[in-house]
Amino acid sequence: MKMKWGIIGTGYIAAAFAEAMKVVEEGELAAVASRSLEKANEFKEKYQVNKAFGSYQELMEDDSIDAVYIAIPHSEHAKYAEIAMRHKKHVLCEKPMTINEEETSRLLAVAKEEQVFLMEAMWTKFLPVTKKIRDWIEAGRIGDINFIDARFGFVAEMDPGSRLYNPNLGGGALLDVGIYPIMYALYLVKEQLEGISSFVKKAETGVDELNMVQLIFKNGAIASLASSICSEIGTDAIIMGTKGKLVIPDFYKAETALLYDLNGNLMDQIEEPFEGNGYEYEIREAISCIRENRMESKLHPLESTRELMGMLDAIREQWGLTYPGGR
């Protein structure tokens, strides 16, 4: 029997999830909820969803829904993820799971109390290319990692009311896209972190629109990580090792990776086209965990999410950036 999913939200992330579900045979998109019934119905028709609701609460109360994908602004994740779990729904929550570590810890406690599955939708970790890159690194193909350069940036219109620039919605580059290169470095280096330094350019609304984060690991490796919503700084990653380097174009949605020796000769490459749009892999992971009665993913455990949120808190503290309500 297919697992029945509900989506909270109708934006582009929700649309990406709906598109991916088309190639996930184990799942079925059974319901969508928006604060506007009109928008929910439009989404329902476009993606052939069974039910549409004009409030999030109505979807939560539908006993036929097994799991919920939270696809609304960051600032609302904690609230509705908890409501979903209180209604015994398994939850896949778009990244970042919450605004800060305190809220994340709260959700982890609720998941344990309610005995439901919870996972942050960090889709990059589940991509076939990402898995093969990690295998290569663990096999010593590039030797010991000593430097990572990863960035994620684009130009967004300066709109104080948009989710990217509005502090009330948890706006800024760090939480929206900066989380990707930081996660990537932590996932691949797998060493104890010794230090964090950072630099920021703030927008008129007070959120970060351009930043640089440097991580120093116990083994001496350094990661230089940047994110932006005001500049095209690219989306590539380079991982330098003592024996060679890996180049990953569009690392956050990678379908290819290139392995070079220290002289710049191409030694190997990975080509792994998506079956759908790439979101299908995290959906399958969630379904697999739920069916096996596992409350979290081994590949992206809840503690990894909590630790990463703690790091983002520390970085924002360096900048003096807090969101309304002291978040």
Mean of all residue pLDDT scores within the chain: 97
Residue numbers annotated as active site: 95
Mind listing the pLDDT tens digit for each residue in 88-122? 999 999 999 999 999 999 999 999 999 999 999 99
Name the residue among 211, 167, 221, 217 with its Cα closest to residue 195: 217
What does 256-281 look like in DSSP terms, one character per residue? Answer: EEEEEETTS-EEEEEE---SSSSTHH
Q: What is the pLDDT at residue 81?
A: 98
Q: What is the pLDDT at residue 89?
A: 98
Residue type, 310: G
Distance from C-alpha of 314 to C-alpha of 182, rounded to nearest angstrom: 13
Q: What is the pLDDT at residue 168?
A: 96
pTM, full prediction: 0.96
Q: What is the pLDDT at residue 169?
A: 95
Q: Which residue has the tokens 């790091």?
A: 311
Mind listing the pLDDT tens digit for each residue in 211-268? 999 999 999 999 999 999 999 999 999 999 999 999 999 999 999 999 999 999 999 9
226 DSSP β-pair partners: 151, 212
- Assigned token pair, 232: 């095209």
- Assigned token pair, 190: 């797998």
Please list, residue by residue across 267-296, b when 16 or more beta carbons sit within 10 angstroms of its beta carbon and e when fewer do.
Answer: eeebeeebeebbbbbbbbbbbebbeeeebb
What does 282-303 look like in DSSP terms, one character per residue? Answer: HHHHHHHHHHTT-SS-SSS-HH
Strand (E) positions, 80-159? Answer: 90-94, 118-121, 145-155
Q: What is the pLDDT at residue 96?
A: 97
Residue 141, C-beta contacts closer than 8 angstroms, at least 6 positions apart: 241, 243, 244, 259, 268
Distance from C-alpha of 42 to C-alpha of 26, rounded to nearest angstrom: 25
Find out whether the peptide bond into 96 is cis, omega within 30 degrees of 0: yes
**Residue stretches of the chain with pLDDT short of 50:** none
